[in-house]
Structure 1
Amino acid sequence: MSNEATLPELVQQMLKPEFYPHPVTTPIQLMQTHASTVLLTGEFVYKLKKPVNFGFLDYSTLAKRQHFCQEELRLNQRGARELYLEVVTISKKGDRYYLGNDGEIVDYAVKMVQFPQDNLLSNMFESGQLAPEDLEEIGRVVAEFHSRARTDEYISSFGQIDRIKASIEDNYRHTEKYIGCAQTQQQFNETKAYTDRFLSEHSQLFLDRIAAGFIRECHGDLHLRNICRWQDKILLFDCIEFNEPFRFVDTMYDVAFAVMDLEARGGKDLANRFLNTYAEQTGDWAGLQILPMYLTRQAYVRAKVTSFLLEDPSIASQDRAAAAQTAGDYYRQAWEYTRSRQGRIIMMAGLSGAGKSTLGKQIARAVSGIHLRSDAVRKHLGGIPLLAKGDDILYTPAMTAQTYQQMLELAGKLAARGFTVILDAKYDLQSLRAAIVDLATTRKIPLQIVYCTAPEAVLRDRLAHRTGDIADATVDLLASQQSTWEDFTPAERGYVTTVDTTKDLGMFLGEI
């Protein structure tokens, strides 16, 4: 809530119904951020840019506000074309302001379709209306958004270490003044040391991301308040238009924003659903290696922009106090992401239809792990859509060997970054299991083998009725799988937990 007497005269007039050439719903609602003023009139929303200059964001002149309103319209029509209508002119005659060119042009606003605030994902989460399936849909929507996002040599240049470091350093420079107010000196020092160290020690990861084309014109601010469900469709809106280094970023930068926001709200299981769906859709499991640094960065930037509200005179005192608390929570979250974590590997094993994938997903949500399905890895390697039926070429011995080798390499890389990796495949041969055991032993990574079983009649029934899944195995393959299965060796048995997936799995999941 704002103190209306401290609001600019233009905003005070925009709070009155007579300002608008169309019917409005009263009272007109006002929302503010550190950089924008948003007025909700019923059918339409008008978004003004505050005449501020934070360095990383500069709306200080009329020309700049016009330019960035136009950029906001252009960029947001990628993910929410249904919402973004036009840029409107605001004029002044005497002491009255008007929409349109009737007088001296004094400002611009982005005109949008207003949707119910209950449809914001942030509000859906708070009301308990955000279902797990919603997060899987969002994972698919963001994956598609990124697949269409443009990239070129100029955009890719923003993935260079020096540019990433400069952007992160800018965050620290703007927030030193909040030490002792919203964050502690220890949090500041240790968070900065972590990002400095990560960028220094893992420069090759960032070079690999440039070479693979993962630096794109992304959203840049993909948290729950910038995602909505409207007309039964997930829309991504309010992307970054004001700063190229915040928009020309790694696709994992966007992913980290959504994961961080869900976790900040206490939705770790939902964050895991989103993350695993996105990774499986894109095949970009290797990109998860840089996710921890971006999780820290995104929590910190939310702390930064929330801190700016502490100095906005138009924000009521009770809202400034709430902002201080929220900023403090984000600073703490950013710091907690820097804590060292022990990675581990959980190898699923069992025949087709034994429930490996179903249990693997449940394990991933229980431990915030990365669920790595051989079916998805195989299809990405083969270059075919996940839901397409794989042909014989996809199941040659050479492709099978390549699939398991890819899973082995990803397990090592992600466990080294502190992830729990759930390897979901048959692992029916001792040689395949031995490679994982050797990796875990050599690198001192904790390992558990979860052997999934079910009565044969259940296996056959599951395979016969499987629909809408990426797996291609059918009932007629079951006999050959049974005949070629190689039992666990005495050395392997120490890692094995056998699970009948027809039983109640609650106790097992609680102990995993």
Structure 2
Amino acid sequence: MAESHTAVVAFIGDRAYKVKKPVDFGFLNFTSVESRKVACSREVELNRRLAPDVYLDLSEVLDGEGRSCDWIVVMRRMPPDRRLATLVERGEDVRSDLQQLARKLVSFHSTAKRGPDVESAGEPAALRRRWVDNFTGAEPFVGSIFDRDTFEEIVWRALDYVDGRARLLGDRVRRGYVVDGHGDLQAEDVFCLPDGPRALDCLEFDDALRYVDGLDDAAFLAMDLERLGAAELGREFLGWYAELSGSQVPRSLADHYIAYRAFVRCKVACLRHEQGVESAADQARKLAGMALDHLRSGQVRLVVVGGLPGVGKSTVAGALADRMGGVLLRTDQIRREMPHAADLDPGAGYGRGLYDRAQVHDTYGEMFSRCRRLMEYGESVVLDASWSNADEREAARALAREGRAMITELRCDAPRDVAMARLAARVDDVSDATGAVAEEMAGRFAAWPEAVEVDTAGEAESAVAAAWRILQACR
């Protein structure tokens, strides 16, 4: 026998017989015979899409007077020792099976149902609504199973991400990534057989919850593998899925969907605990922690790196962008791409030619425009500039608020003689700053109390490590 919060499965010979429990959780209601019939019928129909040789039939149960009293899903019994969760827990190599499953899932998604009703379930408002519904279902357990601070941080981080990523989510809808998927891809329900994996037990009780971004569908299994202690396998599986589907996936979106799936299972674990399964409380806490970890990891960030010429800010900014997996935008590069830049003298001095006030303002404006679009698409951004003007810094803060991004401001600093020596040693650098420019800028550099200072006088590795620690602390 096996049991979940919604069903009981009996194993007899080479068959498995599944009966729905007469339960009402609000988000599903199986209390009537007719509702269980519909659910069982849909289970057979929908699961035959991925496992047609497993879901065999639907059988009616009659009472002593010949009246229908229940319905049973009849399935081919799967070998328990080939269950993906069991294999992972035993430490067996399942990479080949997961690659096959990723390929099978991509193929399934490529022909899955699409259309206006499916697409509408993938819009930002629908994803927000699914989060809110899960928060509503989990809130009664706040205080008894997990703490209020954890719950509230999950709420604001999840909704902040959705509200700031309308362009990304809407674009994925338009590109056809939202499909009638599996909806509940857990390692317990995947069997690794010699002729290929079988994924069972898709979500059948609410079509709208099954209408998801294909990446969201795959993220469920990535989350479950992490829950089993195989986080790297989960990341690999998601990577294979993204590569095979040809989908460009921002890291933040993958983290967001893993967090969503972890919280869905957290809510289910809370319900299991309410049904009397004591160990489910620890599971719920673990899943809530996973959700929060991924929401923090997927936080879209705006890192402002500034300072005088020669202090090493571009070295720090580039290294941070690499470590974050973010995009680096540098004013020194952007100003050369501006209209009429070729007609202006880059060596005219501070505040003149290519560096006159209007040109500088337009350069920052172009950088902000590019940054806005990148953040809307879920990318974290590092902005490398002098940031000598307080108005430009305030514009960056406003941009972070608008894009629901976390901003960190860093001011790189090194002694004058170190900076001057670096400027003198530059060869073929995109920056035109000279020692004279640095001296003049230093006299006009507005106070920057909001920034955290990074000592860049020594080795680059040391400065980058210090800056990285600051970012890690600001989560």
After TM superposition, the structure 1 = structure 2 runs for residues 122-141 of structure 1, keeping only pairs within 5 Å, are 122-141=85-104
The aligned counterpart of 1:39 is: 10
Contact 2:10–2:18 (Cα < 8 Å) also in 1: yes
The aligned counterpart of 2:244 is: 281
The aligned counterpart of 1:56 is: 27
* CA deviation vs aligned residue, 1:25-72 (integer Å, no higher than 9, x gap): xxxxx1111111111112111111111121211212111111111111
CA distance in 2, matches of 1:228, 1:368: 36
After TM superposition, the structure 1 = structure 2 runs for residues 273-312 of structure 1, keeping only pairs within 5 Å, are 273-286=236-249, 289-312=252-275
**Alignment equivalent of 1:166, drawn from 123, 129, 139:** 129
* CA deviation vs aligned residue, 1:100-128 (integer Å, no higher than 9, x gap): xxx22100011000011111111111112
After TM superposition, the structure 1 = structure 2 runs for residues 22-37 of structure 1, keeping only pairs within 5 Å, are 30-37=1-8
Give SS of 2:30's match.
coil
Give SS of 2:278's match.
helix
Give SS of 2:27's match.
coil
**Letter of the 1:40 counterpart:** F
Give the deviation of 1:341 after TM superposition.
6.1
Aligned length: 328
CA distance in 1, matches of 2:181, 2:76: 23
Structure 1 unaligned runs (5+)? 1-29, 95-102, 345-366, 371-407, 420-442, 445-488, 497-512
CA distance in 1, matches of 2:262, 2:35: 28
**Letter of the 1:49 counterpart:** K
343 and 193 in structure 1: CA distance in 2 versus 1, 3 angstrom threshold: closer
Give SS of 2:49's match.
helix
The aligned counterpart of 1:238 is: 201
The aligned counterpart of 1:271 is: 234
**Letter of the 1:36 counterpart:** A
Asked if 1:228 corresponds to 2:191, the answer is yes
CA distance in 1, matches of 2:460, 2:297: 25
Identity between Structure 1 and Structure 2 (%) = 29
* CA deviation vs aligned residue, 1:145-188 (integer Å, no higher than 9, x gap): 11121101121111122222222111111111111222110111
Asked if 1:324 corresponds to 2:281, the answer is yes
**Alignment equivalent of 2:141, drawn from 178, 185, 190:** 178
The aligned counterpart of 2:294 is: 337
**Letter of the 2:5 counterpart:** H
368 and 222 in structure 1: CA distance in 2 versus 1, 3 angstrom threshold: farther
Give the deviation of 1:287 after TM superposition.
6.1
Give SS of 2:10's match.
strand
Contact 1:119–1:229 (Cα < 8 Å) also in 2: yes
After TM superposition, the structure 1 = structure 2 runs for residues 85-484 of structure 1, keeping only pairs within 5 Å, are 85-93=56-64, 103-286=66-249, 289-312=252-275, 315=276, 320-340=277-297, 417=379
Contact 2:44–2:57 (Cα < 8 Å) also in 1: yes
Contact 1:205–1:290 (Cα < 8 Å) also in 2: no
Contact 2:7–2:18 (Cα < 8 Å) also in 1: yes
The aligned counterpart of 1:439 is: none
**Letter of the 1:205 counterpart:** L
CA distance in 2, matches of 1:33, 1:266: 22
Q: Which one has the largest radius of gyration?
A: 2
**Letter of the 1:33 counterpart:** S
* CA deviation vs aligned residue, 1:394-414 (integer Å, no higher than 9, x gap): xxxxxxxxxxxxxx99xx779
* CA deviation vs aligned residue, 1:261-309 (integer Å, no higher than 9, x gap): 1112221221122122111111102365522221111000111111111
**Letter of the 1:161 counterpart:** P
The aligned counterpart of 1:485 is: none
CA distance in 1, matches of 2:33, 2:21: 10
CA distance in 1, matches of 2:231, 2:324: 7
CA distance in 2, matches of 1:202, 1:415: 6
CA distance in 1, matches of 2:180, 2:96: 27
Give the deviation of 1:255 after TM superposition.
1.5
Contact 1:209–1:287 (Cα < 8 Å) also in 2: no
**Letter of the 1:265 counterpart:** L
**Letter of the 1:136 counterpart:** Q
Asked if 1:71 corresponds to 2:42, the answer is yes
Contact 1:272–1:369 (Cα < 8 Å) also in 2: no
Give SS of 1:286's match.
coil
Scaled by the length of structure 2, the TM-score of the pair is 0.63
**Letter of the 1:112 counterpart:** M
Give the 4+ runs in structure 1 shifted more than 4 A: 340-344, 367-370, 412-419, 489-492
The aligned counterpart of 1:82 is: 53
104 and 193 in structure 1: CA distance in 2 versus 1, 3 angstrom threshold: same
Give the deviation of 1:259 after TM superposition.
1.1
CA distance in 1, matches of 2:282, 2:71: 33
RMSD of aligned C-alpha atoms? Answer: 3.3
Give SS of 2:72's match.
strand
184 and 83 in structure 1: CA distance in 2 versus 1, 3 angstrom threshold: same
CA distance in 2, matches of 1:60, 1:249: 27
Give the deviation of 1:325 after TM superposition.
1.1
Give SS of 1:80's match.
coil
Give the deviation of 1:235 after TM superposition.
1.2
Give SS of 1:338's match.
helix
Give SS of 1:85's match.
strand
